[in-house]
Structure 1
Amino acid sequence: MKLAVVGGGSTYTPELIDGFARLRDTLPISELVLIDPAAERLELIGGLARRIFAKQGHPGLITTTSDLDAGVADADAVLLQLRIGGQAARLQDETWPLECGCVGQETTGAGGLAKALRTVPVVLDIAERVRRSNPDAWIIDFTNPVGIVTRALLQAGHKAVGLCNVAIGFQRRFAAMLDLTPADIHLDHVGLNHLTWELGVRKGGPEGENLLPQLLAAHGGAIADDLRLPRAVLDRLGVVPSYYLRYFYAHDEVVRELGTKPSRAAEVAAMEKELLGLYGDPALDEKPELLAKRGGAFYSEAAVDLAAALLGDGGSAVQVVNTLNNGTLPFLPDDAVIEVQARVDRSGPSPLAVPRLDPLYAGLISHVTAYEDLALDAALRGGRERVFKALLAHPLVGQFDLAEGLTDRLLAHNKEHLAWA
């Protein structure tokens, strides 16, 4: 089995390598190719990756290349983990929206739109080259904004599934609180990427006992602290929102906070510099502890589970993925991309049934889906007016003057990445 990782020069890649090494019985990789144009970083990370495999006794071959076409040739699956413009572009995404009094964040709001505009054309070009080389290869997208990027891939006819680590993080956290194993926990996870709620926490499977009420009763304070939301919010909702919902439920508070502390991009850039120094140590043969602060916890486990189901021997697994709605949420169009539990096998994901959603959640999901429609249109066809309409439609913007000011700033800060700007 051959896997290729586009964006293999990311400082996060050793987390993925560690998961591949530990879970080799679940996903028996014979060859892993790390692909990245940043040759110096790629060699540092490739060297560490080989040492991790060797220490853990993994027999697979790890190679590195800056040649995309050569790297993806004959791959059974291609994982995408890109950041167009690097941390410098992320810093801009987190900064200029604040000038208009809006959340500065790389995956939602105006910053998220900027990232989508930069990313979608590049991802579609990569996917087309993968298809020319191997039309049967699965594309697993971990590139944000995952929902919009995955929808672009599926709309273009690619064999693609989107993946996020929010659900698996909750699963691990809740299992520890309930003194159960992660395999014992099934989440009623519903929504869009970075706009989800855990409506139930079930023991044993989709039909199991719902432990969410007792989880909130015993651990609601700790969960609320993790989400940085008041405990009363969880008690009144009776569900656990994704931590990204704080941008919606406490928007003005978040804007005030972001204006008084260093950006996450600046923190990550400093961390990446330190990590690259560590990776260059020829004695290092495991992921360093610092990597845990980089973000993306449990991504490797989620990626292994998904790839194993897609490439396995006919079995299936239930996992939270981003995939086509196809009637799962009846208030959305079939071609919307939702994030829900799905049964995954070699034919791809099939969403499990979802109970009728409270309008409190369905309304926001519908609103953000409309924004994503417009955002994808802007990413595919360009044009200032399409960018403006996407911003006007976003529930974190929604005002004419704000959308105008944000459009001007978005275009000014992203000209080098937008061919049409």
Structure 2
Amino acid sequence: MKLTIVGGGGFRVPLVHAALLADDLIDHVALFDVDADRLAVIERVTAAQASGRRPLRRTVHTDPAEALADADFVFSALRAGGTAARVIDERVPASHGLIGQETVGAGGIAYALRSIPASLELARLVARLAPQAWLINFTNPAGMVTEALSAVHPRVVGICDSPVALARRAAAALGVDAVGPVADYVGLNHLGWLRGLLVEGVDRLPDLIADPAALASFEEGRLFGPQVIGDLGALPNEYLHWFYFRREAGTGGGRGDFLAKQQDAFYRDCPTSPDAALAAWEAARAERERTYGEANRNAAGGFERDPLDLVSGGYEGVALAIMRAIGRDEPARLILNTPNAGRLAELADDAVIEAPCSVDGRGVHPTPIAALPDYAKGLVGTVKQVERWTIEAATTGSARAARLALMHHPLVDSASLAGRLLTDYRAALPQLGYLR
């Protein structure tokens, strides 16, 4: 089977490549990127990973037609505008005293206004060049992009590593095998809650919530604390820290600057030897993982990431599980971004949510879930409407829809400020010139 990775020069591509090498499902991986220099660097890193491992044909492309031809799966990891645009996504709201995280609040809206048009262009190419392929979306904001794609492509699914990482850490805190538990997770991308963890048919999450010492042993437990978690009766996704502790979290506008500098240095100075390139990539990845979420951790009193948090097996593991389930009809239960399909009464059927699904050789099937908890209904409903206005703006060019999205986002506190944010974004991001 052939997998095409769009954004094949991206920094995290070697994580996917390593997962493919450890499995035998994919026999051809095609790396496509518009940036030939970045692609060449990642080719050196993946060449070192492949040394002495199983045969896996690896090709690199700057022509999308060559890369997508005959693909069985297409993995989308676009970053329209690159890390330079991410810096702007975060700096603009931070300059107005607002949270500037790249997928939360105004930053996420600006990111989506670039990601959605680029992703729809990709979907049209896939429909023409590889109509049989499944499109696995990891392009952020994953929920919004997947919802836009779902309207035009019959075989699309969105993935995120946050829910699986949360369930894995909760299982470890309970001292149980991370593979066995069944996670009851619901929400939107970067806005969800783990509200149950079944081990041999028994929900063990209440045991964890009632144990302050166990909560203090992993990242989300320390971020939110036993009181908030106890009041909710659930474990929030790490990104909800921006909502529940917006005063303490600050603007969070520096992560893009850090990654832009780090990645520029890595791609510019990466050694020509494949082995040395792999070592340089591993060192940069370790620093990237160690500093991930630093602003939130500092707001929660300051703590270092646990070694378990640095282990790979996140989104690359979810992507591989989807491909195995579909390609070999090996049924799997995964937390994915798919249309609501009547599962949550508050949302339209075509609104994409993040919740458990079953996957097999026939495709992806949303599974029944319990109703939203009372504490989630208002926030999920509001943010989903913001997402739908953002999608409208990205697909029709409506500046009015973009303003409505910014105006109603819970992390933007003024209609006049929403207008200034859009003005600033349009001045700084040429990609938004289509808004009228």
| SS of structure 1 residue aligned to 2:136 | strand
Q: 2: CA distance between counterparts of 1:142 and 1:66?
A: 20
Deviations 1:374-397 (A, max 9, x none): 010001111322211111121222
Distance 1:225 1:183, change over 3 A: closer
Equivalence for 1:43 = 40
What do you get for the CA RMSD once the two structures are aligned? Answer: 2.0
Question: What is the CA distance between 1:409 and its match in structure 2?
Answer: 1.5
Question: What is the CA distance between 1:269 and its match in structure 2?
Answer: 2.0
TM-score, reference length from structure 1? 0.92
1:295-334 correspondence runs (5 A): 297=312, 298-312=314-328, 314-334=329-349
Equivalence for 1:220 = 215
Equivalence for 1:197 = 193
| SS of structure 2 residue aligned to 1:288 | helix
Question: What is the CA distance between 1:311 and its match in structure 2?
Answer: 1.9
Equivalence for 2:297 = none
What residue identity is the alignment partner of 1:195?
A: L
Question: What is the CA distance between 1:310 and its match in structure 2?
Answer: 2.3
1:183 maps onto 2:198 in alignment: no
Identity of aligned residues (%): 34
Question: What is the CA distance between 1:348 and its match in structure 2?
Answer: 2.3
Equivalence for 2:262 = 271
Runs of 5+ consecutive residues of structure 2 not aligned to the other structure: 293-311
Equivalence for 1:370 = 385
Question: What is the CA distance between 1:356 and its match in structure 2?
Answer: 2.2
- Could you tell me whether the CA contact under 8 Å between 2:142 and 2:189 is conserved in 1? yes
Greater Cα shift, 353-362 or 9-18: 353-362
Equivalence for 1:20 = 20
Q: 1: CA distance between counterparts of 2:407 and 2:183?
A: 33
Equivalence for 2:2 = 2
Q: 1: CA distance between counterparts of 2:36 and 2:12?
A: 16
Equivalence for 1:335 = 350
Equivalence for 1:401 = 416
Equivalence for 1:245 = 240
Q: 2: CA distance between counterparts of 1:154 and 1:227?
A: 36
Distance 1:418 1:310, change over 3 A: farther
Q: 1: CA distance between counterparts of 2:219 and 2:86?
A: 27
1:254 maps onto 2:249 in alignment: yes
- Could you tell me whether the CA contact under 8 Å between 1:69 and 1:130 is conserved in 2? no
Equivalence for 2:157 = 161
Deviations 1:274-316 (A, max 9, x none): 543456432245761431443594221111111211222x331
| SS of structure 1 residue aligned to 2:121 | helix
Equivalence for 2:136 = 140
Distance 1:394 1:279, change over 3 A: farther
- Could you tell me whether the CA contact under 8 Å between 1:227 and 1:243 is conserved in 2? no
| SS of structure 2 residue aligned to 1:167 | helix
1:104 aligned to 84, 100, 110, which one? Answer: 100
Greater Cα shift, 36-45 or 293-302: 293-302
Greater Cα shift, 289-298 or 333-342: 289-298
Equivalence for 2:273 = 281
Distance 1:14 1:280, change over 3 A: farther
Question: What is the CA distance between 1:225 and its match in structure 2?
Answer: 5.9
Number of residue pairs matched by the alignment: 409
Question: What is the CA distance between 1:224 and its match in structure 2?
Answer: 5.9
Q: 2: CA distance between counterparts of 1:279 and 1:137?
A: 35
| SS of structure 2 residue aligned to 1:183 | coil
Question: What is the CA distance between 1:239 and its match in structure 2?
Answer: 0.8
Equivalence for 1:210 = 203
Q: 2: CA distance between counterparts of 1:37 and 1:324?
A: 30
TM-score, reference length from structure 2? 0.89
What residue identity is the alignment partner of 1:6?
A: V
Deviations 1:247-293 (A, max 9, x none): 1111122235x37xxx1012212332454345643224576143144
1:120 maps onto 2:116 in alignment: yes
Distance 1:275 1:299, change over 3 A: farther
1:232 maps onto 2:227 in alignment: yes
Q: 1: CA distance between counterparts of 2:34 and 2:221?
A: 36
Question: What is the CA distance between 1:162 and its match in structure 2?
Answer: 0.1
Q: 2: CA distance between counterparts of 1:417 and 1:39?
A: 25
Distance 1:201 1:225, change over 3 A: closer
Q: 2: CA distance between counterparts of 1:64 and 1:131?
A: 21
- Could you tell me whether the CA contact under 8 Å between 1:391 and 1:398 is conserved in 2? no
Q: 2: CA distance between counterparts of 1:233 and 1:87?
A: 34
- Could you tell me whether the CA contact under 8 Å between 2:2 and 2:73 is conserved in 1? yes
Equivalence for 2:285 = 291
Deviations 1:171-204 (A, max 9, x none): 3222322232221122111000000000011214
